[in-house]
């Protein structure tokens, strides 16, 4: 039995649990790097794919293929679903980059990202006009997904450095709008690819090549249907507390109240990143204001049942997810060319059977000053002066303060070292929260403290849906 090295580095710890470090080599060459079939990407390909309508992605879309281990037919269905939506999304990213001013796209970093998207689309085009019908084809297609995830591992940090170097030719406001849109679209692209990778490794047809213990029964790919927010909060608070103690010599206390046993279905790595960013701010403010004796209060509150059971259209208005929310419209870059943006599409996936949760983080860290409050959602590097930009581009930290916390890893492939000092914490956290219909709200009492409300929506009653499907069959 030959051992093969895992072919890619996937930051999501859920994916890492699903991807084995050793496996039997198959006749098709499981995840053999560098042998992908490609096709030249033409301008007509990009225009055609970018003109196709895009629809918002829901968590329900990602779990509809059933719980692992998937059967052969379920696995093939997952592969074809993934194939049906990724080429158009990649074409939109390419078109969005091309809509930027030419001098910006000519920057080596921005140009590299453009080339990466062209490469990924070239590996998908050979599959775009066919249906995946055999396990051998599915294995080869999964190699393409692994290559896509690895290729775009550091997209955001590379783009940030490109925009730093090109800051004379594009305004900070335009950079913020473009990155926010691009970042949101990237969340979906990676999630779609990672979901199929995870389902592939946990499927029945490929179980014989796995040599690790079976994953948690609550997982469907990268989604935990029994996710307990209190467990994520406790883990993140302890990690941030240890680093805070390393930096300052003290760590604030924290208490978790509300309903700590509550569970719902969501992506754990997304929640972990959001909570970590929010706690970093709360811990830092608490220590630097000398209020470390005051506990940081974290309250977990499930969505009220009365709201969940409401079918009133007015109650559902805030539950709409649109292409604008998920960065699929290319509006941020198309104003440079005067082109009309993609027609928006809205869906209402958050029905009464979809549970959710609100997590409040309350600190006594003195609050946020009025002049800073209006900029908390900006990418901080867009306001760098020349010295700060130079130090960041040379790999040195420019943010000051609690820099040691900036080296913590983020989700989706962007390691902390590559994002340190760029001010991505809150904007990125809000993008992950809003992607599936949640959000982050901040209420600050200057001179006293800050309350942050994180709301998230889940998948719904997955088990009920599967039971009904079996009964129909």
Measured CA to CA, the distance from residue 149 to residue 294 in angstroms comes to 42
Measured CA to CA, the distance from residue 29 to residue 10 in angstroms comes to 20
User: Which residues partner with 450 through β-bridges?
Assistant: 363, 444
Query: In the chain, what is the straight-line distance between the N-terminal and C-terminal CA atoms, in Å?
Result: 41
Confidence of residue 446 (pLDDT cuts 50, 70, 90): very high
Residue 406 has pLDDT above 80, yes or no: no
Looking at residue 309, its pLDDT comes to 46
**What's the mean pLDDT in 313-324?**
59
36-204: CATH architecture: Up-down Bundle (1.20)
Looking at residue 392, its pLDDT comes to 64
Residue 213 has pLDDT above 90, yes or no: no
Looking at residue 407, its pLDDT comes to 41
Confidence of residue 458 (pLDDT cuts 50, 70, 90): confident
Give the rounded percent of residues in the chain with a pLDDT score beyond 90: 44
Residue 399 has pLDDT above 70, yes or no: no
Tell me the pLDDT tens digit for each residue of 173-206. Answer: 888 888 888 989 999 999 999 999 999 988 888 7
Domain ranges of the chain: 36-204, 222-307+320-336+349-387+414-457
Measured CA to CA, the distance from residue 412 to residue 181 in angstroms comes to 16
Residue 463 has pLDDT above 60, yes or no: no
Give the rounded percent of residues in the chain with a pLDDT score beyond 70: 71
**What's the mean pLDDT in 413-433?**
68
Residue 356 host element (H or E): strand 356-363
Measured CA to CA, the distance from residue 228 to residue 233 in angstroms comes to 9
Residue 328 has pLDDT above 90, yes or no: no
* Segment among 17-21, 354-358, 430-434 with least mean pLDDT: 17-21
Looking at residue 420, its pLDDT comes to 47
Confidence of residue 36 (pLDDT cuts 50, 70, 90): confident
**What's the mean pLDDT in 5-23?**
36
Instruction: Identify the three-state secondary structure at position 124.
Output: helix
The domain defined by 222-307+320-336+349-387+414-457 carries CATH number 3.30.565.10: yes
Looking at residue 145, its pLDDT comes to 95
Nearest in space to 322 (alpha carbons), one of 344, 352, 343: 344
Average pLDDT over the chain reads 78
What angle, 0 to 180 degrees and rounded to 10, lies between the N-to-C axes of helices 155-165 and 172-201?
160
Looking at residue 23, its pLDDT comes to 36
Residue 362 has pLDDT above 90, yes or no: yes
* Segment among 7-21, 119-133, 276-290, 446-460 with least mean pLDDT: 7-21
Is there a contact between 455 and 438 (Cβ–Cβ < 8 Å)? yes
Highest mean pLDDT among 337-341, 397-401, 445-449, 456-460: 445-449
Highest mean pLDDT among 74-83, 298-307, 370-379, 431-440: 74-83
Highest mean pLDDT among 48-62, 75-89, 329-343, 398-412: 75-89
Nearest in space to 70 (alpha carbons), one of 461, 436, 466: 466
């Amino acid at each position: 039995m030959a051992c093969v090295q895992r072919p890619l580095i996937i930051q999501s710890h859920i994916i890492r649990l699903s991807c084995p470090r050793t496996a039997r080599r198959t006749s098709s060459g499981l995840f053999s790097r560098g042998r992908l079939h490609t096709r030249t990407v033409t301008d007509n390909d990009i225009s055609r794919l970018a003109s196709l309508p895009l629809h918002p992605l829901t968590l329900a879309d990602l779990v509809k293929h059933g719980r692992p281990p998937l059967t052969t037919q379920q696995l093939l269905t997952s592969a074809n679903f993934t194939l049906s939506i990724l080429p158009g999304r990649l074409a939109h990213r390419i078109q969005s980059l091309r809509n930027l001013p030419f001098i910006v796209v000519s920057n080596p970093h921005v140009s590299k990202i453009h080339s990466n998207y062209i490469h990924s689309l070239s590996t998908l085009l050979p599959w775009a006009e066919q249906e995946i019908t055999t396990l051998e084809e599915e294995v080869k297609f999964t190699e393409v997904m692994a290559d896509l995830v690895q290729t775009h591992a550091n997209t955001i940090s590379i783009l940030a450095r490109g925009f730093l170097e090109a800051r004379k030719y594009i305004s900070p406001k335009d950079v913020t709008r473009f990155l926010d849109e691009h970042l949101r679209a990237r969340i979906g692209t990676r999630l779609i690819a990672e979901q199929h990778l995870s389902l592939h490794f946990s499927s029945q047809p490929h179980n014989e090549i796995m040599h690790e213990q079976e994953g948690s029964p609550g997982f469907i790919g990268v989604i935990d249907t029994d996710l307990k927010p209190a467990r994520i909060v406790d883990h993140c608070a302890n990690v941030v507390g240890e680093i805070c103690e390393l930096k300052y010599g003290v760590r604030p206390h924290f208490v978790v109240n509300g309903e700590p046993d509550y569970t719902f279905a969501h992506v754990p790595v997304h929640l972990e990143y959001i909570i970590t960013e929010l706690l970093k701010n709360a811990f830092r403010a608490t220590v630097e204001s000398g209020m470390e004796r005051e506990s940081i209060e974290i309250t977990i509150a499930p969505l009220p049942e009365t709201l969940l059971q409401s079918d009133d259209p007015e109650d559902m208005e805030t539950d709409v997810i649109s292409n604008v929310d998920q960065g699929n419209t290319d509006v941020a870059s198309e104003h440079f060319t005067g082109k009309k943006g993609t027609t928006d599409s809205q869906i209402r996936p958050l029905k009464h059977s979809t549970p959710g949760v609100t997590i409040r983080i309350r600190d006594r860290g003195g609050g946020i000053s009025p002049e800073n409050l209006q900029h908390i959602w900006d990418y901080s590097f867009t306001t760098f002066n020349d010295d700060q930009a130079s130090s960041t581009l040379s790999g040195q930290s420019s943010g000051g303060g609690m820099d040691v916390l900036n080296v913590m890893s983020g989700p989706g492939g962007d390691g902390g070292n590559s994002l340190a000092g760029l001010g991505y914490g809150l904007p990125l956290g809000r993008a992950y929260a809003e992607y599936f219909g949640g959000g982050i709200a901040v209420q600050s009492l200057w001179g006293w403290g800050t309350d942050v409300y994180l709301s998230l929506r889940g998948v719904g009653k997955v088990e009920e849906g599967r039971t009904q499907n079996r009964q129909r069959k």
